[in-house]
Amino acid sequence: MNKVVSDADEAISNIKDGDILMLGGFGLCGIPENCIAALVKKGIRDLTCISNNAGVDDFGIGLMLKKRQVRKMVSSYVGENAEFERQLLSGELEVELIPQGTLATRCLAAGYGMPAIYTPAGTGTEVAEQKEIRNFNGKEYLLEYAFQADYALVKAWKGDTDGNLIYRQTARNFNPLMAMAGKTTIAEVEQLVPAGQLDPDFIHTPGIYVHKIFQGKSYEKRIEQKTNRKVN
Amino acid sequence: MPLSKEQIAQRIARELKDGYYVNLGIGIPTLVANYIPSGIKVVLQSENGLLGIGPFPEEGREDPDLINAGKQTVTTIPGSAFFDSAMSFGMIRAGKVDLTVLGAMEVSEKGDIANWKIPGKMVKGMGGAMDLVASAKNIIVAMMHTNPKGESKLLSHCTLPLTGTRCVRKIVTDLAVVDITENGFKLLERAPGISTGEIRAKTEGKLIVEGDIPEMVF
């Protein structure tokens, strides 16, 4: 078993034009910075990106948007990005907005081997249009399908050479769900350790879900909304 | 005097009870955290994966891995827990969150809510709002009574695309506290110095006024 690759360039080497990618993170928190940088460098195009958000103009997925590498975004909230707005309004970019819990659970379903789930989110709204509706115990639910993604790109705090992952604080968010959901999952970690050095009781993502792992470098971990306590 | 945003938050905070798990939306709802009554423990849920949101960090102590759903840097309180986004919406869907406080553009007398999309304007997305309103058992809306054009936001029917239907239980505006009942908006309290007539004039949907309506006291 050898899951360890040297860097992001090697990790993403098989990703090709038109692939469907999942990218972990919430806002700029817990995003796979190294993989995004490598994708920008390689210039792969026509990508579909499933990600809760679309980054900001000069960071995160925003860097890929700027180079027009993204054909379609599947997200729950895409504010804070002027270039995104421009491409959307000009029709260069397709966007599918879905409720955040539905996004998370469609990842979960994929990772749990379930083809679809029922959720009440979006019933009675335009999200329900053309979807199968079923009544359980007097309440309506929408049928939503598991995602099918070629690659999941996730960021963890610690990982071992067998691909076991541990996330830190709210940087966990969508990462463990997407890690389970990708046909191929690539994990970048702040600390890569030999197998056996992480306590098995504290693993968030078991290595079976992870195909490639590498020690990330130069993390910027940009803060989107720095907010401090008012000092009297 | 109409209530300030802080006073709206302060009024909503009176609805909190010991042991409540609460999800606060962005904007006025976030301010509710500043007015949690002393002597009770309330645990704030952040849908990006945190139970037990603490105050904003001191300058220089912010951690990029620790944010709230508004992407602001936060801290944790003792007893907090982190989890992934599926579990976060799982606890919301399963009705474990006792109270949800949201902003809104429009609320109908049936309890429908519109707060995510204005036709013709750039749509940023619904985030977690549709999941929250579809499942929460107790939703309070915090908003201004009228929009910037002076038009009522408490309507017989919402005109904007809906976020959810028949879900709002109570509304606290700058002018009034109203409950959503089977028969329409029921006026419970007035802002100090605001007459029942003014509230009626600024409420497009059906407003039920029974007896003397008390003024809020701050």
Between chain A and chain B, how many beta carbons pairs sit less than 8 Å apart?
A: 173
To test the contact with chain B by mutation, choose from A125, A203, A219 the residue with the greatest count of B C-beta atoms within 10 A, namely A125
How far A48 CA sits from the closest chain B CA (Å)? 17
Pick A228's closest partner by Cβ from B62, B70, B130: B62
Tokens 């809104």 label which residue?
A: B104
Q: What is the mean pLDDT of residues A125-152?
A: 97
What integer is the mean pLDDT of A10-17? 98
Nearest to B70 among A157, A173, A225 (CB): A225
Given a contact cutoff of 8 angstroms between Cβ atoms, the answer to whether A51 and A25 are in contact is: yes
**E strand residue ranges, A110-206:** 116-119, 133-136, 139-145, 149-160, 165-166, 182-193
Q: Name the residue among B174, B164, B171 with its Cα closest to residue B205.
A: B171
Residues of chain B found within 8 Å of residue A103, distances taken between Cβ atoms: 85
Cα gap B212→B218, rounded to integer Å: 19
Residue of B nearest to A168 (CA): B65
Query: For the ranges A81-85, A206-210, B23-27, B79-83, which has the lowest average pLDDT?
Result: A81-85
B122/A227 Cβ within 8 A: no
pLDDT at position A213 over 80: yes
Q: Show residues of chain B in contact with A81, CB under 8 Å.
A: none
Question: Rounded to whole angstroms, what are the CA distances from B70 to A86, A92, A226, B10?
Answer: 23, 28, 11, 20
Residue A7: what pLDDT?
A: 98
Asked whether residue A200 carries a pLDDT value surpassing 70, the answer given is yes
Between A88, A169, A225, which is nearest B65 by CB? A169
How far, in Å, CA of A72 to CA of A81, rounded? 15
Q: Are the Cβ atoms of B58 and A228 closer than 8 angstroms?
A: yes
Q: Are A26 and A174 in contact (CB under 8 A)?
A: yes
pLDDT higher than threshold 70 for residue A232: no
Distance from C-alpha of A5 to C-alpha of A223, rounded to nearest angstrom: 28
Q: Which H or E element spans position A212?
A: strand A212-215
Question: What residues in A contact B125, CB-CB < 8 Å?
Answer: 75-79, 97
What are the pLDDT tens digits along chain B (218 aa)?
A: 999 999 999 999 999 999 999 999 988 999 999 999 999 999 999 999 999 999 999 999 999 999 999 999 999 999 999 999 999 999 999 999 999 999 999 999 999 999 999 988 888 999 999 999 999 989 999 999 999 999 999 999 999 999 999 999 999 999 999 999 999 999 999 999 999 999 999 999 999 999 999 999 99
Q: What is the predicted pLDDT for the residue at A79? A: 79
* Closest chain A residue to the Cα of B116, Cα to Cα: A77
- What pLDDT digit, counting tens, does each position of A153-190 carry? 999 999 999 999 999 999 999 999 999 999 999 999 99
Nearest chain B Cα to A26, which residue? B48
Shortest CB distance from B72 goes to which of A105, A119, A227?
A: A227
Distance to chain A for B27, nearest Cα, Å = 14
* Count of C-beta atoms within a 10 Å radius of residue B184: 18
The C-alpha atoms of residue A59 and residue A83 are separated, in whole angstroms, by 12
Min distance A175 CA to chain B CA atoms (Å): 8
Q: How far is A156 from chain B (nearest CA, A)?
A: 11
State how far the Cα of B145 lies from the Cα of A91, in Å rounded to an integer. Answer: 36
pLDDT digits (tens, 9 = 90+) for A29-62: 999 999 999 999 999 999 999 999 999 999 999 9
Query: Each residue of A159-168: pLDDT tens digit?
Result: 999 999 999 9
Structure confidence at residue A73 as a pLDDT band (50, 70, 90) = very high
pLDDT confidence tier of residue A1, bands split at 50, 70 and 90: confident
Residues of A in contact with B71 (CB under 8 A): 26-29, 224-225
Report d(CA B68, CA B66) in Å as an integer.
7
pTM: 0.96
In angstroms, the CA B203 to CA A161 distance is 63
Confidence band for A149, pLDDT divided at 50, 70 and 90: very high
ipTM here = 0.96
CA distance B195 to B202: 11
**For chain A, what is the mean pLDDT?**
96
**What are the E-state strand segments in chain B?**
21-24, 43-46, 50-53, 76-82, 99-102, 106-108, 113-114, 139-142, 154-155, 168-172, 176-181, 184-190, 207-208
Residue-wise pLDDT for A88-128, tens only, equals: 888 899 999 999 999 999 999 999 999 999 999 999 999 99
pLDDT reported for residue B52? 97
Q: Which two structure tokens, joined as six digits, stand for A136? A: 């359980």
Query: Both tokens of residue A86?
Result: 């421009």
| A-chain residues near B55 (CB < 8 A) | 229
- Between CA B140 and CA B137 the distance in angstroms is 10
Q: Is the dihedral of CA A22, A28, A29, A34 positive or negative?
A: positive
> Among all residues of B, which ones are annotated catalytic?
47
Q: Chain A: residue nearest B166 by CA?
A: A124
